[in-house]
Structure 1
């Protein structure tokens, strides 16, 4: 890992294993720290993860409060599984002020971002442990944890059943595992943009869904097969009008990825409308719009090791 102000982290180095069966959807952001696509453009992927944290910060506080209500009392160690740039790690550290945070990811570049951000976020060096590991290979040597948190990461692993068994073994009795998934890409645009056919964003989302973007199962049976006892499931509805700061940049990045990934699946007039939205000098471009909103749903599962 590159030099930073944080103490040199312990690393468990494994070869990178690309995820099989890459599709158009692999080029879309889903806030997954271990998402496919990060390997070939880690800097851009890290920027999207940080932007997701900026735009969805209030939801993270709501999510960690929900986790706290189901967590063991005074957890001592929390594993962030697929930590990425550390959005979840920092949120967990704020909510559980006495816990050690173990941030696990296969990308050194993303973990460097976390190390750089931790001091400014008030996360002391003795509360953060960095573990670079490819969890498709094996669970790393980490002391038993009280909470395992996998946010937008579990569906990217080659064998989720095996990873959940690993998490079961890694948790102390009574420990909590939390899985969170984005149900669909965030929405930002009004139905009628004033240009092109109404419903552009909905059509982009339909194409993305058919391509497998944000595809994930109901994790309940997976958790039960691994030996966990389900205790809660909740869908977080995120809405803001007008959209919060950062949403314009998020929408720009997402629409550019739609434009790149689905240029062979979207109608020609929809591609033209996307080009107008993404242009610097068009009067209806994102940069000139004042009608952006934010809409998104994320589902969380919480289960306990008996």
Structure 2
């Protein structure tokens, strides 16, 4: 973003580049995605087959900066141009960069990546897109734009999520076992209609855009959240977003059980559970522009 995204975008998650207002707490979800999955995001940046340490990096659909800060940490000489359509996300990213003492290494650009003409983003050695490509209305055009943007021999890293993360055991909640799986099934049907490229295999599309695939891998996430309050908040925010996309397909009993989980002041709140586990996957493609 992982992104991540959850499809906030988290993910992450997940990292959606298409929202300027933030009524759903999307920015908070993106920040939690970065906190909870920091180790896995670091593993992705460590895996990237860079030929030399990049000096100029572009983070497309950067959200609140999950990828930006992971890349700044991985490549201490790099400058990152962080691109997103959300002014609020970019403001939060700049504030975090100031707090981290790296503001001079970050340049933010507000732009709609679905537009035919992009602003000047330089000639980066590395372009990173986490949980943003599936939001593009014309991804083939976006991939060609990235190919033209990169320096010869530059690398394009595409990170995508395997849907929303899962948190609950199959036996939960006690009155409606399997609720989370049914929410995910309903959400998948919703997103199949509205976000047609989610879950796509980006390898053939990258090749068609002129890239050479240099690596592909899947990162499996399985994190015990019993002692981590951040994971409870992450689960809460994720289920709130799941409710938005799944509610019309759920039975009245499932809706009632879900609302009990989402009632932060109630005795059945997901924040009170000690059996949460973050389970998800992130797929990564590393594609190079020819020299």
TM-score (norm 2): 0.89
Corresponding residue for 1:263? 247
Q: How many Å apart are 1:124 and its aligned residue?
A: 4.0
Corresponding residue for 1:131? 109
Please say which of residues 48-57 and 257-266 is displaced more in the overlay. 257-266
Which one of 256, 281, 287 corresponds to residue 297 of structure 1?
281
1:205 aligns with 2:184: yes
Corresponding residue for 1:253? 237
1:104-253 → structure 2 map (5 Å cutoff): 104-125=83-104, 127-137=105-115, 138-193=117-172, 195-212=174-191, 215-243=198-226, 244-253=228-237
Q: Which residues of structure 2 form unaligned runs of 5+?
A: 1-6
Q: CA separation of 1:267/1:225 partners in 2, compared to 1, >3 Å: closer, same or farther? A: same
1:72-111 → structure 2 map (5 Å cutoff): 72-111=51-90
Q: C-alpha distance in 2, partners of 1:200/1:43?
A: 22
Find the residue that maps to 1:193 and give its secondary structure.
Answer: coil
Find the residue that maps to 2:199 and give its secondary structure.
Answer: coil
Q: CA-to-partner distance for each residue in 1:158-187, whole Å, 9 max, x for gaps?
A: 211111111111111111000011112101
Which one of 45, 53, 57 corresponds to residue 64 of structure 1?
45
Q: How many Å apart are 1:242 and its aligned residue?
A: 3.3
Q: How many Å apart are 1:259 and its aligned residue?
A: 2.8
Q: Let me know the Cα RMSD of the aligned residues.
A: 2.1
Q: C-alpha distance in 2, partners of 1:65/1:182?
A: 18
Q: CA-to-partner distance for each residue in 1:170-211, whole Å, 9 max, x for gaps?
A: 111111000011112101111112522321111111111111
Q: Rg larger in 1 or in 2?
A: 1
Q: C-alpha distance in 2, partners of 1:30/1:58?
A: 14
Q: How many Å apart are 1:53 and its aligned residue?
A: 0.9
Q: Contact 1:90–1:123 (CA<8 Å) still a contact in 2?
A: no
Q: CA-to-partner distance for each residue in 1:249-281, whole Å, 9 max, x for gaps?
A: 111122223333322211111112112212345
Q: CA-to-partner distance for each residue in 1:146-167, whole Å, 9 max, x for gaps?
A: 0000000011112111111111
1:270-281 → structure 2 map (5 Å cutoff): 270-281=254-265
In proportion to residue count, which structure has more helix?
2
Q: Which residues of structure 1 form unaligned runs of 5+?
A: 1-24
Q: C-alpha distance in 2, partners of 1:236/1:173?
A: 28
Q: CA separation of 1:196/1:28 partners in 2, compared to 1, >3 Å: closer, same or farther? A: farther
Q: CA separation of 1:135/1:282 partners in 2, compared to 1, >3 Å: closer, same or farther? A: closer
Corresponding residue for 2:26? 45
Q: CA separation of 1:278/1:143 partners in 2, compared to 1, >3 Å: closer, same or farther? A: closer
Q: Contact 1:278–1:286 (CA<8 Å) still a contact in 2?
A: yes
